[in-house]
Chain A
Amino acid sequence: MSTLAIVLRYEVLFLLLALAALVGYRMLTQQINVTGLLMDKTSGRAISPGRVQMLMSSIGLAAYYLFLVLDTKDTSRLPDLPNELVVAFGASQGVYLLGKLYGRFATTLGLASPKVRERAKPKEGKTNQ
């Protein structure tokens, strides 16, 4: 039975690592579509600060947790994540969502910049269907 467990261990480990490496490589070489990942779709800005901070916090938290797992002594449970980090992650998501909500209603409430208002106008030559 121990041989079976060892074979299964390396098999699944190989699958997970190969899959992660393949997805990572394809993202870096843009074979996986990453266009507009950081773009603010409402204003058309190439970089949205809300998206950048969310990307950073997600990658940072994921990396930190992987190190916690590799460093843990108690293998009977996944390692605890400090509450402060969970709150910080929630706040990061909140900032991103508030930014998105602001972009959604800024034009309606008259808070949008002239450029954004211009984008929101119906294009010429179009009629209602």
Chain B
Amino acid sequence: MTAATIGLVIGWILTIFIGVLAVMILIKIFTGDIDLNYIISDENGWASLSRFQFLIFTFVVAMSLFYLILARTPPEYPAIPKEILALLGISGGSYVVSKGIQSSRDVSMTEADNPPEVKDPKVTNTPIVGDKAEVQSQSEKPKPNGPQPAP
């Protein structure tokens, strides 16, 4: 068996593995077993603009890279211009600074006895532990940033 044949066999095994994995992930997302409900939410349950922006850029850069890699024969990784790195850096830096400001605000509000509003988690069809009753009891736990009940 030549090296080229071995390479081809390994290539097909990997391709089939990636394909099966992709289909399984998509099916699990579609049926709700992989829960995307809070994919862009922050720790208080509100949708986060920074995370949403990250999501958009992740898709755009991934699709662009993939498109250009496969546009060449043989496939080849394209060079990445510095403007794109700057764009991702600005986006990432903005996310970090934004989180810093928000954490600082949350801490000062909690210290002032006025903790930030926390949204109740929505019960989804993702089994966290065991059956539905246990999932329900998970959602009824005290809010992490909220006021604790007096003893």
Expressed in whole angstroms, the minimum distance between the Cβ of B147 and any Cβ of chain A is: 6
CB-CB under 8 A for A75 and B72, given A22-B26, A59-B56, A122-B114: yes
* Complex Cα gap A76–B68 (Å): 7
Task: Determine whether the beta carbon of B49 is less than 8 Å from that of A51.
Answer: yes
Residues of chain A within 8 A (CB-CB) of B114 are 120-123, 126
A28 part of interface (Cβ distance < 8 Å): no
B83 part of interface (Cβ distance < 8 Å): yes
B123 part of interface (Cβ distance < 8 Å): no
Interface size class of B (residues with CB under 8 A): 35 or more
Residues of chain A within 8 A (CB-CB) of B81 are 77-81
B64 part of interface (Cβ distance < 8 Å): yes
Task: Give B residues with C-beta under 8 Å from A.
Answer: 8, 11-12, 15, 18-19, 22, 25-26, 29-30, 36-41, 45-49, 52-53, 55-57, 59-60, 62-68, 70-72, 74-76, 78-81, 83-84, 86-87, 90-91, 93-94, 97-98, 101-102, 104-105, 109, 112-114, 116, 119, 122, 147-148
